Structure 1
Amino acid sequence: MDGASAQCWERRSALVLAGSLLAVLAGCSTKPRPAAQAGGTRSAQALNLADDLREPLLARTMLVVNTPYTYGGNSPEGGFDCSGLIQWAVGGITDSRLPRTTSQWAQVSSPVQGRSLMRGDFVFFNTLGKPHSHMGIFVGNGQFVHAPSSGGTVQRVRMDNVYFAKRFTEARSIFS
């Protein structure tokens, strides 16, 4: 290995180590930034996308199953955390300005009652002591897709999974 390659390798290793440390120290949910830091004011106005965008959302979501989890990640190339996955998937079907954190997604979506859960709706979980600390996209047949945690990949999981069934808090929708 020549000098330039060795330096590149060392930088890459340091970045991977730093990213791994961040992922271990933090959960999926990130603290919302104040509006001034988020790039202007952000209203909590609900998204009301057309129902015919549900399937394109699911198709886009399924494209990135097996993509590595990365804390703060929001792209197939850089990996995903749970809310980054949602932001990327929804960003492919609308030009609307989108939230980033799980709590912000809860603010711009509407509650779904009981058996009204449909493909493309969001499911929220309490994994860090707060109701919107983790989220995924319901894909039907009792399953959802999410970016789980450090060391994991975007995956399809059953809603009745022992871990998630105990932590489920609510379902919400961005569709009208």
Structure 2
Amino acid sequence: MKLPLSLLALIFALFMSSAYAAPVSADEAALAAEQADPIARFAQSSGEEAVGDLLLQAMSLLGVAYRFGGNSPTSGLDCSGFIKYVFEKSLKVNLPRTSAEMAKVGRAIDRGDLVPGDLVFFDTRGFRNSHVGIYLGGNKFIHSPRTGKTIEVANMGQSYWAGRYNGARRVQRGAN
């Protein structure tokens, strides 16, 4: 008697789902957790190392899809969801959810005083601070731009961004 291939696949899948796996050791569990989130072990850093960890976490998300209202790398991130996620993961800093609310946190920074890790704000939707990114240095920032795009590095000197720049804020590392 011949069974259809799809029926054989279903039987195999049911069999495999009931198969017993050996218990996982604490070391294996820690390794699996680190592989799932390799940046988490740096979360308790401070000073320059903390900023490095922040930027590393942000860069690890390059290519993640934009999704309006998104707050998870698996389902997509909008600009403020991206910033909130990175600050929580790397620095354990809980920022507000929207870019306009983020623009009230920390202290204002002049453009000439920007350092990596500062938040940079832009008017992309007809009102101040409607977009946010993380300054990387060298006039570059990382952000989640818009529907159909992914997290990317952009140049603040490009005419689009230069004309829409609203200011910057420095968030206290390790605050909250």
Q: TM-score, normalised by structure 2?
A: 0.69
TM-superposed deviation, 1:96? 4.0
CA distance in 2, matches of 1:84, 1:136: 11
Q: Deviations over 1:64-110 (max 9, x none)?
A: 01111001111110111000000000001233433110011111121
RCO greater where, 1 or 2, for CA within 8 Å and sep 6 or more? 1
Gap change, CA 1:137 and 1:97, over 3 Å in 2: closer
The residue aligned with 2:168 is: 171
Q: Is the 2:99–2:129 contact (alpha carbons within 8 Å) kept by the matching residues of 1?
A: yes
The residue aligned with 2:135 is: 138
CA distance in 2, matches of 1:114, 1:137: 13
Q: Is the 1:125–1:168 contact (alpha carbons within 8 Å) kept by the matching residues of 2?
A: yes
CA distance in 1, matches of 2:59, 2:111: 25
The residue aligned with 1:111 is: 108
The residue aligned with 1:38 is: none
Q: Deviations over 1:21-53 (max 9, x none)?
A: xxxxxxxxxxxxxxxxxxxxxxxxxxxx95332
The residue aligned with 2:122 is: 125
CA distance in 2, matches of 1:86, 1:54: 13
User: Structure 2 regions of 5+ residues with no counterpart?
Assistant: 1-5, 7-44
CA distance in 2, matches of 1:111, 1:128: 21
SS in structure 1 opposite 2:97?
coil
CA distance in 2, matches of 1:112, 1:85: 21
Equivalenced residue count is 129
SS in structure 2 opposite 1:135?
strand
Gap change, CA 1:55 and 1:167, over 3 Å in 2: same
The residue aligned with 1:22 is: none
- Superposition RMSD in Å: 1.8
Percent identity between matched residues is 35
Note the 1:64-79 alignment, pairs <5 A: 64-79=61-76
Q: TM-score, normalised by structure 1?
A: 0.69
Q: Is the 1:146–1:154 contact (alpha carbons within 8 Å) kept by the matching residues of 2?
A: yes
Matching residue within 28, 43, 47 for 1:51: 47
Matching residue within 94, 97, 107 for 2:94: 97
TM-superposed deviation, 1:54? 1.1
Q: Is the 2:108–2:170 contact (alpha carbons within 8 Å) kept by the matching residues of 1?
A: yes
SS in structure 2 opposite 1:136?
strand
Q: Is the 2:105–2:169 contact (alpha carbons within 8 Å) kept by the matching residues of 1?
A: no
Which residue identity lines up with residue 147 of structure 1 in the other structure? S
Which residue identity lines up with residue 161 of structure 1 in the other structure? Q
SS in structure 2 opposite 1:111?
strand
SS in structure 1 opposite 2:101?
helix
